[in-house]
Amino acid sequence: MNALFNGVAANDLALSRGLQYGDGVFRTILIWDGQLLDWNLHLEKLSEDCAALELSVPDFSLLKAEATQLAAEQAKAVLKVMVMRQPGGRGYRFDAQASDRLLLCYPAPQYQEQCWTSGVNAFCSDFKLSLQPALAGIKHLNRLEQVLASRNWPQAADEGILCDQVGQLISGTRSNLFWVRAGVLCTPSLEESGVSGMMRNKILALAESMRIPTSIVKAPRAELESADEAFVSNSLIGIWPLRQFEQREWMAPGAVTLKLSAALQHPRLV
């Protein structure tokens, strides 16, 4: 096959099924003082997602060596690890599970301290996530839904909250969603839609160790609007308390959010 990218002969990446079809998975890892935070937890999620798509998992020792090389001497940075199915097969069909890996390192984003100390503002996106149990929970390379959900972003908003086709809460555009009702930490079920982030798993495990009751639920938007407190999470920000969601306002952070944030001890990208 011959290929041109912006008029220039393309390399093998142009043949990647990850580029052509989104046939692959990825993880986003925070680098802090040259260290790969939560590396083993990210590998667990990477392995689960590869298995779900019938992709071979890269050699962990080789992957760690390459990641460490990129992370060296980086004070604050982000590492994106992508695993993509190797070219082969006709059209969408594939011949094997063999995979390629691509690692990208770029500067970490910066946020205001108040995102952690007094919370963020979220809006309810009018874009509805599709229902697809075969892909639910997987951090696959096709992120078109999140791209479309990020259109028409209100200027004052820090995150957008997404529901599925039947109106059930799922997540933020780039985060997982939690709220507290009567002392119980709730988070949406991801059986039919959404991405199960590493930080979501970490927070649920942390809550269990702290004897904070948890519940994975199917709930409409009204459930969030009537919650006692709420927050969003991902591997870069840790926990951001919600200060406002549409017309609902909270005194943020709430008591449970504050306890979890203190126990998590996640660095702040300020």
Q: Give the model confidence (pLDDT) of 113-170 as tens digits.
A: 999 999 999 999 999 999 999 999 999 999 999 999 999 899 999 999 999 999 999 9
- What is the model's pTM? 0.94
8 Å CB contact between 230 and 242: yes
Q: How many C-beta neighbours within 10 Å does residue 71 have?
A: 21
Give the architecture-level CATH label for domain 3-107. Answer: 2-Layer Sandwich (3.30)
Question: How far is residue 86 from each of residues 2, 90, 100, 110, measured CA to CA in Å?
Answer: 17, 13, 6, 35
Domain spans in the chain, listed from the N-terminal domain onward: 3-107, 113-264
CATH class of 113-264: alpha beta
Q: Which of 81, 80, 85, 91 is nearest to 52 (CA)?
A: 85
Q: Give the model confidence (pLDDT) of 35-79 as tens digits.
A: 999 999 999 999 999 999 999 999 999 999 999 999 998 999 999
- Whole-number pLDDT of residue 2: 64
